[in-house]
Amino acid sequence: MLQGDMMDRPLLLSSLIEFAALYHGEREIVSRTAEGTIHRYNYAAAGRRVKQLANALRRLNVEEGERIGTLAWNTYRHFEIYFAVSGMGSVCHTINPRLFTDQIAYIGNHAEDRIIFVDLPFVALAEQLAPQLPLVRAFVVMTDRAHMPETSLPGALCYEDLLTAESEVLEWPTFDENTAAALCYTSGTTGDPKGVLYSHRSTMLHSFASCMGDVLGIRARDSILVVVPMFHVNAWGIPYCAAMTGAKLVFPGAALDGASVHELMESEAVTLSAGVPTVWLLLLQYLRDTGNSLPHLERVVCGGSAAPRAMIQEFEEVHDVRLLHAWGMTEMNPVGVVNTPKPVLEALEGDAKLDLMAKQGRAIFGVDLKIVDDSGQELARDGKAFGALKVRGPWVARRYFQRDDDPAFDSDGWFSTGDVCTIDPDGFIQIVDRTKDVIKSGGEWISSIELENIAVGHPAVAEACVIGVPHPKWDERPLLVVVPSKGATPSKEDVMSVFAGKVAKWWLPDDVVFTDELPHTATGKLLKTELRQRYKDYKLPSA
Ligand code: ADP
């Protein structure tokens, strides 16, 4: 092959903070801090402090490739750690502090974290974890001398003391763009959490793509409130996108309630924000209760789980804010698809428009998508056929960190997402279930999520879960497990009446059982594995 004659400059994350400091030096980064104040500075100052921190890491003998953990909310210091650690050629490992303590200890040891940066609210958690993390050389408390707590943390260092001692001068090292930059673990609903090791190249290409007009459309004029935690797949890559474009950054710290989020949106003239549906439900509730509005906000990105239709409608019709539904995964850096309008669909109105906006989003350049049936045969992109979703692309993982042969990675170069969806002729996907939750009845698939969504429409149903239980003739049939609303005692027939006219007859649950409580994971998702175990010998009346 004839090689091109262009420069081979590696795509390195240090170039992002360099660019932001040089060309958008005056642009602000605003944080609600753990110390209780609002902190303001700009990209120029951040650039200098990132270099001080990188020099401090060098002094602490941090080596290339070593994993450096964080237990922290979204603040400017966390932002500095992102760039200093990756820029030096080490790996920034953001740990989700909401996981169970044993899971965190497992993750810290599996990642072999050598230093852990700890935000003030997580010092007690780190103290509890420390004895289980023998590889950690030092804990750095992310505060200044005045707020440094009494702590039993071995080798506790003060973040601001570390920086003050260092020079603002540093020449960033140059290395291969495929070098590891950051590490995130999946939440591990089944088995141990799995690590995904991002490279400088994957994160950089993901950032270019995310900034595109038809993806998140991030520009210098945006003021972005980063609600999605920086320990949640690198805040969906937004800190990198902001540096790439010079957008203003607003970090909310630990305060994610409606009032606090709204206050920052107003005071910082926020135009774009991103987070999971729960946060937006809280914000909308607050706005309804107080009569407040959102005059600056233009778009909210919503993903992690499905955005309810009513929420999309309320943002659009009451607040004139466009909700961009998005789907992604830790294994994808994380953006997979985003719901932005196509010209042919812009004329849609009313229900048809909402139906489209409720889909998870459409294909973006860089992520190949396909759906397949049980035998691996590709299914039609007709918006009706649903199958297991597979993806591939330059920001999709090819393996899990220090863990070989996971069946999710096919020998033919695709990754099985574990999601089941339709793809329509315009490239929009709609998630209908998870592969392990979909009910396989007589060779056909039934969406458990669709049945659950209908069931919770019954006023006497507080929460519903549909699982497949073994059936001698059909292989599996749906069983509906219901937590009744407070004070309600509905009959099975009463609950079943909610499905009338809404689904095909063969989709109807074969039976209903009532329970006081459903099992959930640490991140609030239904633990269907446990329910399947509980009802594995359940005898359906049809069996
Ligand atoms: P996250 O931490 O963002 O939830 P995970 O990797 O833990 O990322 O989980 C990814 C899974 O979350 C996806 O495989 C999918 O099942 C679910 N998910 C993400 N976004 C959506 C969405 N918009 N609608 C429905 N499910 C979603």
> CATH number for the domain including 141?
3.40.50.12780
Q: Is 299 in the pocket of ligand 1 (CB under 6 A)?
A: no
342-348: average pLDDT: 88
Instruction: Based on the residue annotation, tell me whether 189 is a catalytic residue of this protein.
Output: no
Q: Is 437 in the pocket of ligand 1 (CB under 6 A)?
A: no
Q: Which amino acid is at 176?
A: D
In a domain, 63, yes or no: yes
Confidence check: pLDDT of 399 > 90: yes
Instruction: Determine the atom of ligand 1 nearest the C-alpha atom of 233.
Output: 2
In a domain, 333, yes or no: no
Confidence check: pLDDT of 208 > 80: yes
Among the options 440, 515, 523, 530, which is catalytic?
Answer: 440
In a domain, 175, yes or no: yes
Q: Is 429 in the pocket of ligand 1 (CB under 6 A)?
A: no
Query: Tokens 């793509």 appear where?
Result: 209
Q: Do 189 and 53 belong to one domain?
A: yes
pLDDT band at 526 (very low <50, low <70, confident <90, very high): confident
Q: Do 512 and 372 belong to one domain?
A: no
User: Please, what is the end-to-end C-alpha distance for the chain in angstroms?
Assistant: 63
Q: What separation in angstroms does the CA of 179 have from each of 82, 88, 259?
A: 15, 11, 41
pTM here? 0.93
Tens digits of residue pLDDT in 22-53: 999 999 999 999 888 999 999 999 999 999 99
Confidence check: pLDDT of 520 > 90: no
pLDDT band at 189 (very low <50, low <70, confident <90, very high): low
Q: Do 118 and 191 belong to one domain?
A: yes
Q: Is 334 in the pocket of ligand 1 (CB under 6 A)?
A: yes
| Cα–Cα distance, 466 to 448 (Å, whole number) | 5
Tens digits of residue pLDDT in 213-230: 999 999 999 999 999 999
CATH number at residue 381: 2.30.38.10
- Of 171, 158, 109, the C-alpha closest to 136 is 109
Which one of 300, 312, 329 would you pick to mutate in the ligand 1 pocket, going by the greatest count of ligand atoms within 8 A of its CB?
Answer: 329
Q: Which domain holds residue 465?
A: 439-534
Contact between residue 120 and residue 143 where contact means Cβ atoms under 8 Å apart? yes
Q: Do 47 and 142 belong to one domain?
A: yes
Is residue 418 exposed (0-12), middle (13-18) or buried (19+ Cβ within 10 Å)?
Answer: middle
Name which residue sits closest to atom 9 of ligand 1, judged by CA.
329
| Residue where a domain stops, chosen among 434, 455, 483 | 434
pLDDT band at 457 (very low <50, low <70, confident <90, very high): confident
Residues 6+ apart with CB under 8 A from 450: 432, 433, 503, 507
| Cα–Cα distance, 178 to 196 (Å, whole number) | 14
Confidence check: pLDDT of 107 > 90: yes
* Token duo for residue 76: 């400017």
Which one of 96, 327, 395, 526 would you pick to mutate in the ligand 1 pocket, going by the greatest count of ligand atoms within 8 A of its CB?
Answer: 327
| Cα–Cα distance, 66 to 151 (Å, whole number) | 25
Q: Which amino acid is at 246?
A: G
What pLDDT is stored for residue 191 in this prediction?
72
Is residue 412 exposed (0-12), middle (13-18) or buried (19+ Cβ within 10 Å)?
Answer: exposed
* Token duo for residue 202: 């994957």
Instruction: Based on the residue annotation, tell me whether 440 is a catalytic residue of this protein.
Output: yes
Q: Do 54 and 149 belong to one domain?
A: yes
What pLDDT is stored for residue 190 in this prediction?
62
DSSP state of 74: B
| Cα–Cα distance, 401 to 194 (Å, whole number) | 7
What pLDDT is stored for residue 155 in this prediction?
86
Q: Do 50 and 133 belong to one domain?
A: yes
Specify the number of domains making up the chain. 3
- Of 469, 478, 490, 410, the C-alpha closest to 450 is 478
| Residue where a domain stops, chosen among 434, 460, 482 | 434
Q: Do 491 and 394 belong to one domain?
A: no
Backbone angles phi and psi of 249, in degrees to 5: -115, 135
What pLDDT is stored for residue 523 in this prediction?
65
Query: Tokens 């505060």 appear where?
Result: 143
Instruction: Based on the residue annotation, tell me whether 445 is a catalytic residue of this protein.
Output: yes
Confidence check: pLDDT of 521 > 80: no
Tell me the CA–centroid distance for residue 196 and ligand 1, in Å: 15
Q: Do 178 and 111 belong to one domain?
A: yes
Three-state secondary structure call for residue 256: coil
Instruction: Determine the atom of ligand 1 nearest the C-alpha atom of 332.
Output: 6
| Cα–Cα distance, 19 to 471 (Å, whole number) | 61
Tell me the CA–centroid distance for residue 81 and ligand 1, in Å: 26
Taking the CA atoms of the chain, what radius of gyration do you get in angstroms? Answer: 24
pLDDT band at 300 (very low <50, low <70, confident <90, very high): very high
The residue ranges of DSSP E strands in 200-320, in sequence order, are: 223-226, 248-251, 272-275, 299-302
Contact between residue 62 and residue 90 where contact means Cβ atoms under 8 Å apart? yes
Three-state secondary structure call for residue 84: helix
Instruction: Based on the residue annotation, tell me whether 186 is a catalytic residue of this protein.
Output: yes
Q: Do 55 and 147 belong to one domain?
A: yes
Q: What is the mean pLDDT of the chain?
A: 95
* Strands ordered across the beta sheet of 180-185: 156-158, 138-141, 113-118, 67-71, 91-94, 180-185, 195-199
Tell me the CA–centroid distance for residue 164 and ligand 1, in Å: 40
Neighbours of 151 (CB within 10 A): 15
What pLDDT is stored for residue 127 in this prediction?
98
In a domain, 296, yes or no: no
Q: Do 72 and 135 belong to one domain?
A: yes
In a domain, 213, yes or no: no
Q: Do 424 and 477 belong to one domain?
A: no
In a domain, 330, yes or no: no
In a domain, 543, yes or no: no
| Cα–Cα distance, 479 to 275 (Å, whole number) | 32
| Residue where a domain stops, chosen among 150, 166, 199 | 199
CATH number at residue 526: 3.30.300.30
In a domain, 312, yes or no: no
Among the options 73, 172, 280, 445, which is catalytic?
Answer: 445
Residues 6+ apart with CB under 8 A from 382: 422, 424, 425
Name which residue sits closest to atom 24 of ligand 1, judged by CA.
306
Q: Do 425 and 490 belong to one domain?
A: no
Contact between residue 250 and residue 270 where contact means Cβ atoms under 8 Å apart? yes
112-130: average pLDDT: 98
**Angle between helical axes of 277-290 and 309-319 (0-180°, round to 10):** 40
